[in-house]
Amino acid sequence: MNIDQIKTVYLLGIGGIGMSGLARYFQHLGCVVSGYDKTETELTQALVGEGIPVSYQDDIQTLPHHLATPNDEVMVIFTPAVPADLVLKNTLIERGFTLYKRSEVLGLISASRFTIAVAGTHGKTTTSTMIAHVLKDSGYDCSAFLGGISTNYESNVLYGDNNTVVVEADEFDRSFLTLHPNIAIVTSADADHLDIYGDAAHLVDSFQLFLDRIVVGGTSIIKQGLPFSGAISYAMNESADVYADNVHIKDGEFYFDYHSDSLTLKDIRLGIPGLHNIENAVSAITVANLLGISGDKIIAALGSFQGVKRRFEYIVREKDAVYIDDYAHHPEELRAFLTSMRKLYPEKKLTVIFQPHLFTRTRDFIEGFAEVLGFADTLYLMEIYPAREKPIEGVNAQWLLDQIALDDKHILTAEQILDKVRTERPELIVTVGAGDIDRLVKPLKQLLTNA
């Protein structure tokens, strides 16, 4: 398939964060784009508003006329999240269409471009978005496919005029093994997606296969302590090849110094909070330095970086109420997030609203979840969000709650949480999780601001 010959694109599961990015990218290239998704969301509404039709019916009558027979100018893309028995998917297969996974399409794009690929079980969305912003803000430029909505650009896809592309490399379903990176970053490799990989060793093997795909003359930037050999290691200690130190908080914002053999930057203000984001910034600075971007432009870009929607996102920031929303859904993500919360607001009582994501993830990491959720002063726990999974007997919110060493803990529905917040008015509140917990963001904001 020659990407440059495509004139029409149809996406099954167009409302996903990655799929919608591809839809916007191909529309930007001048293609006619449309798609299907199961439910209407703010993201699909935005696509429709941008001129991309979306159908919500699994009915062959909704297929565009140009999908009657295959040809070289039509591409059909699907996400593995769509069910195997989807009528639209099976009809297109019966008609002779080759269906491409999102990852395969990104592989085709990266094969003909200078590709900066960011992988990791967590940290990859913020890091890839940060790199893309530094390249854009500095004038170097790039295109980018991101796993979240960049706050700076209000989009999950960026368009550039050069041959450089930044890609979030997803380990789920081994998707990142289609890419051809010139620069590969690995932010973390904590055990996850064990329903796919079986055990942590196979996950590590997959990351090594990703690194083996670096093109001749390319390089790797690896978080120190990971079980991979890389050209450059990074961390928040001076034993790494590149590192941050002198980390401090001033007026509620994080500052740090950066060191490498070829570059030292002092008193860098990071536009988003979080100790883990300082480490993300170290890898982003290293990429920019490899590309020849000057130190003053790097510092300016990091200061203006506003982060990613649902990644340490301030929703309310007032004297008597602070509310932050975050996508954390793995114990180590929660640890990094809640540790930073404690460092930023050591005197405030922390109320955590958490929605576990997947029965298998909850089962596999029950001890880690129980430990880090104990960092809260008050915990409102929601039932497990199943996503693509069927229930597992005995794996539920009550099982998790019973193992958390905390007195003030409750299992609540979304409506009960809103009632609690309405009456108790927490001074520091966070919502964390990867399911539909984001539906609480607007009503919680209204309650806390009396809007």
Q: Are residues 135 and 270 in the same domain?
A: yes
Give pLDDT, residue 416.
97
Q: What's the mean pLDDT in 50-72?
A: 94
Written as six digits, the tokens of 317 are 């920031």
Q: Are residues 329 and 373 in the same domain?
A: yes
Give pLDDT, residue 141.
97
Report residue 298's pLDDT band, with 50, 70 and 90 as the boundaries: very high
Q: Are residues 319 and 300 in the same domain?
A: no
Residue-wise pLDDT tens digits, 110-154: 888 999 999 988 788 999 999 999 999 999 999 999 988 899 999
Q: What's the mean pLDDT in 288-310?
A: 95
Report which listed range, 5-19, 260-274, 289-303, is most confident: 289-303
Give pLDDT, residue 287.
98
Q: Is the pLDDT of residue 226 over 80?
A: yes
Q: Are residues 85 and 122 in the same domain?
A: no
The verdict on residue 411 lying in a domain is: yes
DSSP 8-state secondary structure symbol assigned to residue 440: G
Give pLDDT, residue 148.
86
The verdict on residue 334 lying in a domain is: yes
Give pLDDT, residue 224.
92
Question: What is the C-alpha end-to-end distance of the chain, expressed in Å?
Answer: 51
- Of 74, 100, 126, the domain-final residue: 100
Contacts of 288 (CB under 8 A, 6+ apart): 131, 134, 135, 138, 140, 297, 298, 301
User: What is the rounded average pLDDT for all residues in the chain?
Assistant: 91
Q: Are residues 261 and 133 in the same domain?
A: yes
Q: Are residues 217 and 350 in the same domain?
A: no
Residue-wise pLDDT tens digits, 195-219: 565 566 777 888 888 899 999 999 9
Residue-wise pLDDT tens digits, 256-285: 999 999 999 999 999 888 888 999 999 999
Q: Is the pLDDT of residue 451 over 80?
A: no
Expressed as residue numbers, the domain containing 43 is 3-100
Closest-CA residue to 126 (of 362, 291, 336)? 336
Residue 190 near residue 121 (C-beta atoms within 8 A)? yes
The verdict on residue 108 lying in a domain is: no
Written as six digits, the tokens of 158 are 């960026």
- Of 100, 127, 151, the domain-final residue: 100
Spatial separation of the C-alpha atoms in residues 433 and 12, rounded to whole Å: 25
Of 417 and 226, more confident: 417
Q: Which of 89-103, 186-200, 399-413 has the lowest mean pLDDT?
A: 186-200
The verdict on residue 121 lying in a domain is: yes
Q: Are residues 49 and 129 in the same domain?
A: no
The verdict on residue 80 lying in a domain is: yes
Contacts of 353 (CB under 8 A, 6+ apart): 380, 382, 417, 429, 430, 431, 432, 437, 440
Q: Are residues 272 and 375 in the same domain?
A: no
Residue-wise pLDDT tens digits, 100-120: 998 889 888 888 899 999 998
Report residue 252's pLDDT band, with 50, 70 and 90 as the boundaries: confident
Give pLDDT, residue 199.
62
Give pLDDT, residue 173.
63
DSSP 8-state secondary structure symbol assigned to residue 217: T
Q: Are residues 174 and 276 in the same domain?
A: yes
Q: Are residues 86 and 168 in the same domain?
A: no
Give pLDDT, residue 238.
83
Q: Number of structural domains, the chain?
A: 3
Closest-CA residue to 351 (of 427, 244, 298, 423)? 427
Give pLDDT, residue 450.
79
Q: Are residues 212 and 350 in the same domain?
A: no
Q: What does the CA dihedral 342, 345, 347, 353 come to, rounded to 10 degrees?
A: -70
The verdict on residue 107 lying in a domain is: no
Predicted TM-score of the model (pTM) = 0.77
CATH number, residue 380: 3.90.190.20
Q: Are residues 278 and 140 in the same domain?
A: yes
Q: Is the pLDDT of residue 193 over 70?
A: no
The verdict on residue 105 lying in a domain is: no
